[in-house]
Structures are given as C-alpha cells and as structure tokens.
Amino acid sequence: MRRLSPTDVAFLLLERRHQPLHVGALCLLSPPNGEPPGFAARLAEKFQRSEHVSSPFDRRPLTRLGVFYWEDDPHFDLAHHFVHLALPQPGRVRELLAMVSRVHSAHLDRAYPLWRVYLVEGLEDGRIAVYMKIHHSVVDGVSGIRLLMKSMSDDIRASADMAPTWEIGSGERPQPVLSKAIRGIDQLRAMSASVPHVMRELQQTYRDARAHHPDLVTSLCAPRCILNQRITASRRFAAQSYSTERMRAVAKAFEGTLNDVVMAMCAGALRRYLIDLNALPDKPLIAGVPVSLHRDREHAQPGNAVTFMLATLATDIEDPIDRFCTIKASMDYNKARFQTMSQNELLVYALGMLTPGFLNMRGNWERMPINVVISHVPGPRTPMHWQGARLDGLYPVSLVMDGIALNITLVSRHDFVDFGLIACRRTLPSMQRLLDHLEESLVELEEAVA
C-alpha cells in the first residue's frame, strides 16, 4: 500500500454527488490510409484480450483509521474500465461532444481503480475517438498527458504495435516504506526551511498591495460574477483547435509568449460572452493559472504537483492591445516572483496568497478568490500516432466545482493548440459560444498587429 499525498487526498475529500473530480482527454484520430472498414472493432477486440495492467491503473483508494492509501486491486476487471461504443447518427463532432459531456458527468466507482477508457466509432467522416477519464487524485494535467503519450509514437508503424495505456502505466516503482518515510521527513524539513524566504516574499507582496502595484493580483481582487455560483451535476463540454502558427505570430509581434496569447484570447472571449449576457463586471476578471511543479515534465510521475498564480484578464479594457499588455505585465510580474522560489516555497507562498480570499468567502461562492481557471498543458512537439491512427486533436476535459463553473484547459501541440472547455450546463447557458469568441478574439489581436 502507498499513502496518498495531502493534495491527492483533498481531491477525494472534496468530491460530491454533483461534483465529480476526475479529469480526462478526448483524442480525435484518423485511421491509416487504406484501412478496411471495422478498424475500431478490431482495436476493441485486441484490447479486450489484454491481460496486463500497470501502476497507477491497478490501484484503488482505501481508508484505514481516516488515512488514505492506494491498494492494488486483487480483482482487476478490464471490462469495467474499457468501453467500446458508437455515436448516434449522424455522427457529427456535435454528437461526440454531447456524449463526452454526459459520460464526464458520471462518477468513477471507488471500489475499482479510478479510470475508464472509451473507444468511440461512428463519426461521419470515418474518424474514431478515444476518451479517457481518470481521477484527479491519481494525476494532474501534466502527468495525465504524459501517461497518455506513452501509448503513442511519432512513428506510425511503431505505434501500431504499442500496448494500451493501462499496460504501459507510468513505470513507477514502489518504494520501501522506510524510504518514503525518510523522504516525507525531508520534505517537512524543506517546507520549514522555506518559511523565512516565503515570509519575505509575502511581505513584499503586502508592500506592493499597499502601493497599489498595477501588476499585482491578490485573492481579494476577483469581482462578483455569474462564473462563481453553486453548480449542478450536468456538464457541457466544448472543444476546438486553433493554429499555433497564428498564435505565435501574435506573440512575436507583442514580444510575449504563446501563453500570453492564450490568456488574451480567453479574456476577449469571456468579455464578449458576458457582454452578451449583460453580466460583465466593472472590475477585471481574475484567472487562477495552475503552475506545474514537476521537475521533469517528460517523465512526470502520477500524483499532483501543482500550485497556482493569480493573473488579471483585464476584461474591463476594451482595446485589445491595452488588454494584452495588461495581461502580459501581470503574468511577467508573477513569473519574476515565482522564479526566486523553490518548489516547496511556491506551495507555501500560494497558500499564503489564497488564504485571505478563502477567508473572505464566508460560505458565499460569489466571493471566490478567482473567477475562472485557465490551464495550459504542454503536449507533443511532433505529429503523433496511436495504434496506427493519426492524432488530429487532443482536447483536455477538466473539472468544475462549486464557485468555479467554468474551466478552460488547453494542450499545445506542434501545429495546433487544442482548447477544451467544461462548464456547468445550467449555470452557464450556451457556453459553446465561447469557441466562436475565442476565434474572434484571436482575429482581433491579428488585426491589431496588422
């Protein structure tokens, strides 16, 4: 048995009937050229003969005396985890996204390892899809994408002979209890040693706040917004790809990064969406931006290693150039502060930054310290294949919680940035319009550059 980290435990404890806390990914794939009909059926038959499973796909949560552990499932049943289905006619991407919305709303059974894979056929253009969901207590965004990439290759022939994700696993080797205990003690010592530096950083933040530093965002800055409400159990998922070349051209013109363009696109889209609903706050929306703490992203192990930075979306600014510059300055301020701190210091610093906002809530979801989560996960840098099929899209399917009714997560690949938007269906009406607004926001930035 392996003990869960405090962060991993939190995702199990925070789960509610209306609030499943798993994350997922939707892969859109084109079968090999000349492949005869029945490609998906042959893959399903191949996978159903699988007899091997690796960590973390073989473990389920267990509690003893209030302590959470991972336990190897002695009765692993692949039929519970692998599902083969077909879309209803006419098999458009619209039907695929509707299916993912429904399936993503359902909880994972804790009596089994917390994951499931769906192989989907019936798309009208002949493509297939793979949707995988796994509990956030098992992986975060970076480690989840790494697990998925282990079953893909940039060589089409090599990919056809690769084992499925659950057979490959993470390559994680169980550590002796004594070694883990020693590592835990070392982490506690490191956390304690980081307190003086973190206190100095928090004091500097307090001085910047008193001086009204234009680029500082605190957890008391987020305005009240319809994005911050209690949610229901229903979900709406929307996905779209945008050209990396277009976005990098904008970034270069503004001397920014690809992530700055992502933030500006989201800001412009949210501004348009809220104006349409007559619900745009006078103050700028605040985004919570996850920051990965994995030292080696290419070989990230399961589990959560993430902290948050707070950034303005400048949604109160009409001019797209001024809005972009304001967002970039806020992100640069955060980066400069974060670069001076170690991983342990970043965790403590983020806790210190967010605590005033959570204390200010007093049970009122409209007083959340952030309005929306925007997460950027690095993806493959070359064209990839899965079982001989070309990867056309890799769309993350994240989670929403009470108080955060919208999550925008994206994966940047070699030629496209794949956006995945998940929201509470009832709280945010017609959320899929944000996809059109993202394109409009990118065009607006391109025209500003011109």
* Residues annotated as catalytic (active site), given as ranges: 136
- Identify the bridge partners of residue 407 per DSSP, sorted by sequence position: 373, 422
Q: What angle do helix axes 320-338 and 433-449 make, rounded to 10 degrees?
A: 100
The rounded distance, in Å, linking the Cα atoms of 376 and 418 is 10
Among all chains, which residue has been given the structure tokens 């970043």?
346
Could you tell me the two tokens for 261?
């363009």
DSSP 340: T
As to burial, measured by CB atoms within 10 angstroms (0-12 exposed, 13-18 middle, 19+ buried), residue 131 is buried
Q: Integer distance in angstroms from the first to the last C-alpha of the chain?
A: 59
| DSSP notation for 296-329 | -GGGPPSB--EEEEEEE--TT--SHHHHHHHHHH
- Secondary structure tally for the chain: helices H, strands E: 13, 15
The rounded distance, in Å, linking the Cα atoms of 288 and 264 is 14
Q: In angstroms, what CA-CA distances link 52 with 166, 169, 195, 302, 316?
A: 8, 10, 45, 19, 54
The rounded distance, in Å, linking the Cα atoms of 402 and 289 is 18
The rounded distance, in Å, linking the Cα atoms of 450 and 446 is 6
**349: nearest Cα among 338, 358, 339, 359:** 338
Could you tell me the two tokens for 242?
């945008």
Among all chains, which residue has been given the structure tokens 């253009």?
125
Beta strand 67-72 with 82-86 is unpaired
Q: In angstroms, what CA-CA distances link 260 with 124, 160, 176, 387, 436?
A: 36, 37, 43, 35, 19
The rounded distance, in Å, linking the Cα atoms of 402 and 396 is 20
Is 393:416 a contact under the CB 8 Å cutoff? yes
Phi–psi pair at 133, nearest 5 degrees? -125, 145
The rounded distance, in Å, linking the Cα atoms of 305 and 172 is 16
